[in-house]
Amino acid sequence: MGMKRLLQTAVIAAIVVLVGGCASRPELPARSAAVPPGVDLSGRWELQGHSDELDVRQVEREQGIYVPPSGAGRRQQGPVRVGGNRRSKGPSVFVFIEDGRSLKITQTKHGLFISFDRSVVEEYTFGENRLVSLGPIEAQRVSGWEGPMYIVETMGDRGATLTETWALAGAGSELVREVNIVDGEKLLYSSRQVFDRT
């Protein structure tokens, strides 16, 4: 009788572990697709000299994150390991950060097209909720409006979240971009850039 009870306990424990392992990660909340009246981020923008530079590569090295090599573009076949670890321990959402000193933004009725230094173009659809990928790295992305601010959130497979906000300042003559990466309660990365309209 004791062996039967032990077997039942082992089966129940295995089921609990299996169900717990299959639990889905948290979902990002949906964002509004409605463009606030009078808000248009369109234009050509140049990074101000005193703004924070997005030095993501240093953080990637410290975190041991797998990233495509710079200059590889979006056609990269696989990631390149950065750092000394055999397996990545850091959040993969770092690879979704684009950077540039010169931006061209086109805002349409349904979305934004952001060109970074005339090389990489990111497309965001207002109110989107979709899976995005870069090589083998996949993440959930939502984007939309919160008041006059456009917010893009990208969550990696381990739950770390990259949040980018875009907003006009200085009566429309400046564009402020803030980038934060949070893993649980821990802030891993933060940057603020201010662009002048050209």
Whether 78 shows a pLDDT value over 50: the answer reads no
Whether 18 shows a pLDDT value over 90: the answer reads no
Q: Which residues contact 21 (CB under 8 A, 6 or more apart)?
A: none
Give the Cα separation of 75 and 99 in Å (integer): 17
* Chain segment 123-179, per-residue pLDDT in tens: 999 999 999 999 899 999 999 999 999 999 999 988 999 999 999 999 999 999 999
Token code pair at residue 161: 């979240």
Residue 69 contacts residue 80 (beta carbons within 8 Å): yes
Which has the closest alpha carbon to 153: 46, 51, 28?
28
pLDDT band at 84 (very low <50, low <70, confident <90, very high): very low
* Chain segment 91-106, per-residue pLDDT in tens: 889 999 999 999 999 9
Which one of 3.40.50.450, 1.10.357.10, 2.40.128.20, 2.60.120.260 gives the CATH number of domain 43-197? 2.40.128.20
